[in-house]
A and B are shown apart, each in its own frame.
Chain A
Amino acid sequence: MAVHDDSNGQKKKSSDALDEIPTFNVENMQNNTRIINYSRTFMSIIGGVIAGILGYTALTGFIFYFVIMAITTVGLAAKTGFAVHSFFDSWNQIVFDGILGGLLSFVLFWTFAYDMVHIF
């Protein structure tokens, strides 16, 4: 399961190259945040379907969800060339943003796929 989908285009540089005081371009930052959300939602849906098909239950499934989120984080960081600070406000944003919202979608699609495949 190594298919990342960095959907929806480019991130834009949101901080200036000023050495003295970092400034942020708000519109680009919003664009970047939106991209994070899209990526996480998409990955949690795909992850939910996969978890259901593979028949993970209970704890294994949740651990799988966090593994998927970690893969997404690494993917996003790689896309920024590991220079996270020039694209985002802080590390926290790229790591924690959208995890809880994605959890609900994950559970929905997990339940759906699990039922389709196993409880037929």
Chain B
Amino acid sequence: MAEDLVLDTAIRDWVLIPLSVVMVLIGVLRYFVSKLMRSDQVPDLKIVKEGQVIIRARNLRAAANFIPAKSFRARKHYYSNEENGLLHVPKGQAQNPQAQMFSDPNMAMDMMKKNLSMIIPQTLTFAWVNFFFSGFVAAKIPFPLTQRFRAMLQNGIDLSTVDVSYVSSRSWYFLNLFGLRGLFSLILGEDNATDDTQRMMQMGGFGFDPTRSLGAEKDSLDIVQHDWALPKFEQRAESVLKKLVQK
């Protein structure tokens, strides 16, 4: 270590701790606000029915090995039968649900509300950090980094000879942003709305299109090989009962 800067105690009290505390509190606030703002959306009957059919088909696929081959085939036929099988949708109806979904005002509003409630606190906090806490060294990270990180981590500090380990408060903000995700999962329980990056990854796969999933479900049901998992079941039951009786 070339030089060892001594930093003002006041920075500790008035920058690091308040920033962390504020971020934790904002996360908790966002969680409760998103819970309160969950609007009661009356689900469309048709979509619910199709969703339930898909769940049933999925259960059949998962537990296929526990029912005898004949009953499995009977159920499979019920689902993927060409004329009146539940999963078979004629081609004409393929496009409608998708168009309906996008013009459905409720769903669009919900998506927008969720997006906003994620992005706005982050933006506000970032702007606040930049405005108040720029232009000085805020913290020292305990490990050294190369010179190329200097531009990213030290953007308020204009001295080029200061060690890259001494970072500005903006990088403390980002460090908090990522590090507090773990803490939130501990104190708020699973399925909390503060995990931004996870949500952003899920955004790409959004688009509940019932027709497409029906077709996909039908295909995967066709693929399943039935492997009777309980061939010696009667013998096993007999031995278990025998053991019970002998006790």
Stretch of B76-84, B100-108, B134-142, B211-219 lying at the A interface: B134-142
Contact A114 B186 (CB under 8 A): no
A95 touches B (CB below 8 Å): no
Stretch of B25-33, B37-45, B47-55, B176-184 lying at the A interface: B176-184
For window 60-118 of B, CB contacts with A under 8 Å fall at: 65
Q: In the complex, which residue of chain B has the Cβ closest to the Cβ of A23?
A: B229
Known: A114-B140, A119-B7. A21 touches B183 (CB 8 A): no
The A interface, classified by DSSP as helix, strand, loop or mixed, is: helix
Known: A115-B140, A119-B140. A105 touches B227 (CB 8 A): no
| 1/0 contact string of A82-93 vs chain B (CB within 8 Å) | 000000000000
For window 134-169 of B, CB contacts with A under 8 Å fall at: 139-144
Contact A104 B181 (CB under 8 A): yes
B165 shortest CB reach to chain A, Å:
9
Closest 5 CB pairs of A and B: A108-B179, A105-B182, A41-B182, A58-B143, A104-B178
Known: A107-B175, A115-B16, A119-B6. A41 touches B186 (CB 8 A): yes
Q: Can you sample 13 A-B contacts with CB below 8 Å? A: A20-B230, A37-B185, A41-B182, A45-B186, A52-B142, A56-B142, A59-B143, A61-B142, A61-B143, A101-B181, A108-B175, A108-B180, A111-B139
B238 touches A (CB below 8 Å): no
- Chain B residues, Cβ within 8 Å of A120: 9, 12
Q: In the complex, which residue of chain A has the Cβ closest to the Cβ of B167?
A: A111
Contact A104 B142 (CB under 8 A): no
A44 touches B (CB below 8 Å): yes
Number of interface residues of B (CB under 8 A): 31
A-side interface size class: 20 to 34
Known: A21-B229, A119-B7. A104 touches B139 (CB 8 A): no
B20 touches A (CB below 8 Å): yes
Contact B229 A20 (CB under 8 A): yes
Q: How far apart are the CA atoms of A116 and B142 in the complex, in Å? A: 12
Selected from B65, B176, B181, the residue in CB contact (under 8 A) with A21 is B65
B231 touches A (CB below 8 Å): yes
B3 touches A (CB below 8 Å): no
A18 touches B (CB below 8 Å): yes
Contact B179 A115 (CB under 8 A): no
- Chain B residues, Cβ within 8 Å of A57: 142-143
Give the residue among A21, A52, A62, A119 with the most B Cβ atoms within 10 A.
Answer: A119
B234 touches A (CB below 8 Å): no
For window 17-63 of A, CB contacts with B under 8 Å fall at: 18, 20-21, 23, 34, 37-38, 41-42, 44-45, 51-52, 56-59, 61-62
Q: In the complex, which residue of chain A has the Cβ closest to the Cβ of B145?
A: A58
- Chain B residues, Cβ within 8 Å of A104: 178-179, 181-182
- Chain A residues, Cβ within 8 Å of B183: 41, 45, 105
